[in-house]
Structure 1
Amino acid sequence: MRYVLFDVDGTLIDAVDNQRLVWHTWAERYGLDPDEVYRVALRTRPVETFAQVAPDQDPRECLAALHELEDEDVRDGSYAAFDGASELLNALESGTWALVTSNYEHRVRGRFARTGLPVPKVVVDAAAVTEGKPSPVPYLQAAAQLGAKPEDCLVIEDAPSGVQSGLRAGMTVWSVNTPAAVNGVHRHFGSLRDAVQDILAYSSEVHPDRLEG
């Protein structure tokens, strides 16, 4: 069998504007430059962001404030699933796909409920691992929970840290929803919609030669 492991924000859910607004609001609470904070946050986990942009603040209080804003966004924010996401996820066989996110499962479930996307049996979130992307741990954990070998897994990502996570896990990695291919990927698609049929073909065990491009 072959398996598909999806990142969430930026890959299945269009939440870029939401993430920017959340971080800008958080930065303003602490009297920081919102643009600089967001630039750092794009490259690091929240605790690492706090250490860099607000080293004099209690990281636990910083995280609590961020979580409050993110939970508000799940309830009241305006966002949508990317075109093709619903068709793709509903076409995949149960038990052959998972979500691997740097967010938290309750927020993923909230956003999926609001956008009508199905939630798989396996969701590996920030609370489930001690090392986040770009470590291979999140994707390796998802594969283990599915009973899959890394070489039988396809990772769908939009961010460099996620791509590196999948590659370090020894998996095939495709990027979507970016103007240019993320460095290191095996294939790139300008949008998730463009990748739908190829992802479904992969999950149906097409010949390996078809995976190159």
Structure 2
Amino acid sequence: MKYVLFDVDGTLIDAVSNQRRVWGTWAERYGLDADEVYQVALRTRPMETFAQVAVDHDPRECLAALHELEDEDVRSGVYAAFDGASELLHGLPLKSWALVTSNYEHRVRGRFLRTGLPVPGVIVDAAAVEEGKPSPVPYLRAAEQLGASPGDCLVIEDAPSGVRAGLRAGMTVWGVNATVAVEGVHRHFVSLREAVPHILALASGPDGSAAV
């Protein structure tokens, strides 16, 4: 039996255009090159991004502006779940899976509401941990809240930092939604849809019953 721990953006929900738009608007406010800022933001957490691209500005002010734009995007932006996400999440018992995100819970709930995805009982967000991905802490925290050992957890990720976090936590890591496999993943799927039957099968017990 496996407990399944999902990343959110890029794994279950296609938020690339939303993230690019938010960071683009943020960059315009500070007179920065939008493409350059976005490329840095893809690799780092917000405070680290500000330290690289907006060294002359108060990082707390930068973060407040970013949060304002992100919250507005959750209210008015267009979101889509990846093909297979709804079938997959509805096929898993509520207590057998969790979300582990570098975003904030209220935004995740807003996006899930907009896309019709079910919300699990365990969500580990940016406010829940001091160390974000690629630290193993977020995934270990989710396993603890589910009452699962790391060895019984399957991580579903799309990004290198998340993959490293899952591997460092001692978990099985599968990569999705990428043409080329992220280094270190135990299995790679070009799309989430392709991975759905395999995730559901692994999350089932030896008799075919779902893990609880």
TM-score by length of 2: 0.96
Q: In 2, Cα distance between the equivalents of 1:206 and 1:90?
A: 20
Alignment of 1:1-213 (within 5 A): 1-205=1-205
Q: Match of 2:2, as an amino acid?
A: R
Is the CA contact 2:155–2:171 (under 8 Å) kept in the aligned structure 1? yes
Is the CA contact 2:79–2:114 (under 8 Å) kept in the aligned structure 1? no
Question: Which stretches of structure 1, 4 residues or longer, exceed 3 Å deviation after superposition?
Answer: none
SS of residue matched to 1:92:
coil
How much does 1:4 deviate?
A: 0.1
Q: In 2, Cα distance between the equivalents of 1:206 and 1:40?
A: 44
Q: In 1, Cα distance between the equivalents of 2:126 and 2:23?
A: 18
How much does 1:206 deviate?
A: 5.4
Instruction: Report Cα offsets for 1:46-67 as digits up to 9, x if no partner.
Output: 0000011101111111000000
Provide structure 2 residue ranges, at least 5 long, that are not aligned to the other structure: 208-212
Q: In 2, Cα distance between the equivalents of 1:94 and 1:131?
A: 26
The CA RMSD over aligned residues, in Å, is 1.0
Q: In 2, Cα distance between the equivalents of 1:29 and 1:84?
A: 37
TM-score by length of 1: 0.96
Is the CA contact 2:99–2:123 (under 8 Å) kept in the aligned structure 1? yes
How much does 1:94 deviate?
A: 1.6
How much does 1:205 deviate?
A: 3.6
Q: In 1, Cα distance between the equivalents of 2:127 and 2:34?
A: 26
Q: Match of 2:62, as an amino acid?
A: C
